[in-house]
Amino acid sequence: MTAAIKISSRATREFWELEVLFEDADLLALDKPAGLPTSPDPEEPDRPSLMRLLHDGIVGGAPWAASRQLSYLANPHRLDAEIGGVLLLAKNKAALVQLANQFGSERTARIYIALVQGSPAEATFRVEAKLGPHPARPGTMRVDPREGKRAATEFTVLERFAGHTLLKCQPLTERPHQIRVHLRSRGLAIAGDERYGGRPLLLSRLKPGYRFKQDRDELPLIGEVALYAEELVIAHPVTAEPLTLRAAWPKYLNVALKFLRRYAPARSLPTPEQPTADESPATRDDQDRRAED
């Protein structure tokens, strides 16, 4: 694995250390941080974006760019600003054109992991619904059968809990907010996705007898959009060999799943766990808070 790429925004005093998932002469795959837009947002021109910061680093001769002798980086696809995970970049125009053709002709395979509120009836299901911008909510998409663009997503249940479900999501097209809107159209909101009806996941809602700490607001187990780009499969733009890129699940998701398995198993309501002789309720709460942090 090659060295991480470090970028920062002077305007907002934010810093990101980007894990490199794959790199060769033509490609650079990164684990994009959640909350950082892929490209500049016309509605928020001063907000930092990944591509602008990378281009600034190339022009400014940042160590990560100079050591790689980079003069070009372009993104053949993008992730929603709120979503982290596998993002593939091209190091030259020929690779960009070939990859853009793959994404445009739906010849790539993209796998996302989502934790949703509710439980679908089926173990697998498919949503085909045209999507378009919401006329009254800038930056939001909606199902628009008349003027929307074609969009299709396949879903598979990975694990069920009381009140939540872990899903594998495979978008067959690439539209903004596609997975989020398709799930919402089936009455399933992604945890933490307040834009589309999702709520933060709180330990106090899962654990019976949860004890609140005085003078401290409860930190959610999930306070961001619980959707993650786990895997991307493409044909290499030069060799045409299949290339699978994967990113490890974020820590917040693993922690949330731990507590869902403990306190909200499928087809049952959360029940109190009896502490052992050496584990008082207060001690257990402290352990849970440390895991939450």
Amino acid (one-letter) located at 107: R
Location of structure tokens 């949503």: 127
For Cα atoms 290, 158, 269, give the angle at the middle one, nearest 5 degrees: 60
- 80 as an active site residue: the answer is yes
Location of structure tokens 């609140």: 212
DSSP assignment letter at 206:
H
Rg of the chain in Å (alpha carbons): 21
Distance CA(90)–CA(148), nearest Å, equals 29
197 token code pair: 């009806």
Distance CA(1)–CA(246), nearest Å, equals 13
Phi, psi of 251 (to 5 degrees): -60, -40
Catalytic pick among 24, 41, 56, 80: 80
Phi, psi of 119 (to 5 degrees): -145, 120
Active site positions, annotated: 80
